[in-house]
């Protein structure tokens, strides 16, 4: 297996990201580098909509 390229702070590159879930055309769940990431809006608290 090839070693990952060493990156410098501030460097820009194009990673491969797999979209797992969409909501209204916006990716809300993606898989990148073996890890899954979810989009969490600032108005959500512990999975529920919160009014602050």
Tell me the per-residue pLDDT of 1-52, one tens digit each, with 9 for 90 and over. 678 789 899 999 888 999 999 999 989 999 998 899 998 877 777 766 656 5
Give residue 52's pLDDT. Answer: 55
Quote the pLDDT of residue 1: 67
Four-residue CA torsion sign, 44, 45, 50, 51? negative
**pLDDT value of residue 49:** 61
**Looking at residue 21, what is its pLDDT?**
94
pTM: 0.60
Residue count (the chain): 52
């Amino acid at each position: 297996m090839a070693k990952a390229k060493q990156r410098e702070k501030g460097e820009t590159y194009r990673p491969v990201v797999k979209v797992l879930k969409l909501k209204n055309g916006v990716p809300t769940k993606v898989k990148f580098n073996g890890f899954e990431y979810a989009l969490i809006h600032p108005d959500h608290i512990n999975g529920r909509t919160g009014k602050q």
